Every structure is written in structure tokens, then in C-alpha cells.
Amino acid sequence: MPLVSSKELLLKAHREHFGIGAFNANNMEMVQAIIEAAEEEKAPVILQVSQGTLKYAGLEFAANLVKTGAELASVPVVLHLDHGTDFYQNVRCLRAGFTSLMYDGTEGMLDACKKMSGDNKPSFEVIYKKVQSQEAFEENVRITKMIVDMAHACDVPVEAELGKIPRIDDFWEIIGKKFNYSARLPESVQKMVEKLFADPKNAEEFVQLTGCDSLAVACGSIHGMKAGTQPLNIRLLDEISSRTNIPLVLHGSSGVIKTMKDAEASGIRPGKNEGTIEDALRYGISKINVSTELQITFIDMVRKEMENNPGEKDVRKIFLPAKTALKSRVRCLIRLFGSSGKGHTGFVSKLGKSEIMHPE
Ligand SMILES: [Zn+2]
């Protein structure tokens, strides 16, 4: 079926307290694995294109791979721009057929600030003060509103971001690049993460002023973590959710504890007001972004195949097991998010049926 908008899907997920997986795909095999997994789970799915993938594959390849997958699938597929940098990029993606956009005002503002000051690695104090400044809030409102007005004219929804969801690289100077993720991050890092949290009152005002359709909120997750050891601030989520009443988005989910059972198994005790992905679904999170975990699953299998078959010359024989491993991982995540069975449509699947047939 043709690509669909994320608007109605996220509103339904928000009402019914389940999450829609928003998976980052970087090549054809990943796109296929994610769409096939969604189809087997009968789940709606969001495929999102990151800034890195836009540079790697180019806008047309990235968009058309997902469009082709959607056309063949029987479940609803959304093509979403992840962390859009500015107005112009959002316009280009809208023209290219994206059915869901994002503007990340915090990242855009920090990039502009780096360019203006010539300081490529500003200190945490500088970042934190900028992110939480009135000036940053107003600029985020101004540009998000422009993008919302433009996108809504074409019935395309927009995700915005408030607070800053950091990257694990931001803390390498403190934890070291070889951090093994077997325990929670040091308290000093946790305090820095908390300083970047979204403010509930600002969130309410932001949503009213911009009319954005969903909101990514900094509430404890960190991009790029290799294991799920980070809890979310559930109380903060609850407050933002009741003030904004729109679907909230979790970024950096690979680093978040998935369930209390997982927390117990790894010996991590979430504190008071803290919780897991499972908890977050009850407090307004309706879209869950997954990237790092997918890349690790894919690349671990490629590595294993290369080690087991050092003489292999056929790239397809290396990639096929990686695609299969990824598909099974995505199915597990879809079940965790509760979206299995939520993507029934009247369309007939054509996935895997498009091989060239010899005419009779
Ligand atoms: Zn993100």
C-alpha cells in the first residue's frame, strides 16, 4: 500500500497506550528486514531516515527504498525524517514524499552557535545554558511553527524536540570510550543528562505555540548507547504528557532499560520516579526510535559470517543472515512496544513476490 502519514497512527497509539517502532534503516537489507518484520507482526511501522543516512545514501535512494517497501507491504508504513536540521531540509523531504517530518530545534541551534563562535566543542556549561535559554526556546518555536504551517498545508505531521537528548559521545571524556555498560552511568553524567531535560511548562507552551503533532522529550535517554541500562524519568514524562496531550517520542531507546525484568536481571535498580520503556508506554510515549541496537544486530552477524566464511566472495551470502537476524530483533521490539496486530488493512502483501518470472 502507499506510504501513510504518522498522524492517525500515533494518535491511535497514544489513545491505546502502545508504541509504534520508528526504526532507522541504512541500506536496502535493513529496509526489507524492518518491513518484513512489521508485516509478520501485522504492525504499523515507521522507517526513519537519519542525517547520517541522508549523507550516506542520498535523499532519493533513502526515500525510494522505503517507498518501494511500503508499496509491496500490506501494513501501514510511514517515511519519517529523523532530526531534521532546518526549514529547507524539511521542505526538500516533503517534496521527496516523506509522510512525517521532524525539526530538531536544539541541535539546529547548537550547530548555528558552533559556527558563529568557531568553537566546535563547546563545554557542557555552554551547551546547557544555550539549550535551556529563552532565546533557544523562542528560536525553536519560530522555526518549528514555520515547518508545521508548511507541512500541515500538505497534511503531513511534524515532530518537534524540546530539551536536549545527548549522545553518549558527549560523555566520553568522563566515562572513556571503552565504557562497558554493565552498570548505570556515573552520577556526574546522570546529573548532566538531567540538566538537559525538557521542562513541562515549556512543553505545554511550546505545543500551543507551534501546533506540532508529536514531541520528542529529553527525559533520561541517551543516543548511541550499546546496552539498555538507562532509566527514564517517568514522573517528568507523566507531567509533560498531561500538559501537552499529544503523542510523545522516545529517542535513544537502545540505551533504555526495556522492562523491570531486564533491570532485575542486570542488577540495575531504577530509582524513585524512574522506569522502563514498558512504563513509558503508559505515560504518553507513542513513538519509539530505535537505531543503535539495529546496527549492532546487523553488523554482529556480518562479522560472524565473515569469520566463519573467510573466502566468501558473494556479498549476498554475508548479508542474508544479517537481514534475518535483524528481522527477528525487530519482531521482538514490535511485540515489546505492543503494536503487533495493530496494522491490519485490506491490502494484499506483495513482499517477496516480485521476482522476475519467465512469461508462459
Ligand atoms: Zn534521536
Structure confidence by residue, pLDDT tens digits, 67-121: 999 999 999 999 999 999 999 999 999 999 999 999 999 887 777 777 777 887 8
CB 113 within 8 A of CB 130: yes
Is the torsion defined by CA of 109, 112, 113, 114 positive or negative?
positive
Q: Let me know how long the chain is.
A: 360
| pLDDT at 68 (0 to 100) | 97
Rounded to whole angstroms, the Cα distance separating 19 from 42 reads 14
Domain annotation covers residue 36: yes
Rounded to whole angstroms, the Cα distance separating 246 from 146 reads 19
Rounded to whole angstroms, the Cα distance separating 340 from 164 reads 31
Fill in the amino acid letter for 219.
C
| pLDDT at 354 (0 to 100) | 64
Domain annotation covers residue 343: no
Listing DSSP states for 191-243 in one string gives HHHHHTPPPHHHHHHHHHHH--SEEEE-SS--BT-SS--B-EEHHHHHHHHHH
Residue 258 is part of which domain span?
6-337
Domain annotation covers residue 346: no
Domain annotation covers residue 261: yes
Domain annotation covers residue 12: yes
- C-alpha cell at position 86: 532546518
Gap from CA of 223 to ligand 1 centroid (Å):
6
Residues 6+ apart with CB under 8 A from 211: 145, 148, 149, 152
Closest alpha carbon to 166 in 203, 124, 212, 114: 124
Gap from CA of 251 to ligand 1 centroid (Å):
4
Domain annotation covers residue 352: no
| pLDDT at 360 (0 to 100) | 57
φ and ψ at residue 20, rounded to 5 degrees: -100, 125
Gap from CA of 152 to ligand 1 centroid (Å):
22
Gap from CA of 335 to ligand 1 centroid (Å):
21
10 Å CB burial of residue 244 (0-12, 13-18, 19+) is: buried
* Total domains in the fold of the chain: 1
In terms of DSSP H, where are the helices of 121-199? 124-131, 134-152, 172-175, 187-195
Instruction: Assign residue 157 the CATH number of its domain.
Output: 3.20.20.70
- What DSSP element (H or E) covers 261? helix 260-265
Cα separation of the two ends of the chain: 28
CA distance to 107, 143, 185, 249, per residue, from 104 (Å): 6, 10, 25, 12
Gap from CA of 346 to ligand 1 centroid (Å):
33
Catalytic residue among 82, 199, 213, 238: 82
Per-residue confidence in pLDDT tens, the chain, 360 aa? 999 999 999 999 999 999 999 999 999 999 999 999 999 999 999 999 999 999 999 999 999 999 999 999 999 999 999 999 999 999 999 999 999 999 999 887 777 777 777 887 888 888 888 888 999 999 999 999 999 999 999 999 999 999 999 999 888 888 887 787 777 888 999 999 999 999 999 999 999 999 999 999 999 999 999 989 999 999 999 999 999 999 999 999 999 999 999 999 888 888 889 999 999 999 999 999 999 999 999 999 999 999 999 999 999 999 999 999 999 999 999 999 999 999 999 899 999 876 666 655
Gap from CA of 82 to ligand 1 centroid (Å):
7
Domain annotation covers residue 73: yes
Give yes or no: 82 in active site.
yes
Fill in the amino acid letter for 289.
N
- What DSSP element (H or E) covers 335? helix 315-337
Gap from CA of 167 to ligand 1 centroid (Å):
9
Domain annotation covers residue 356: no
Rounded to whole angstroms, the Cα distance separating 144 from 104 reads 8
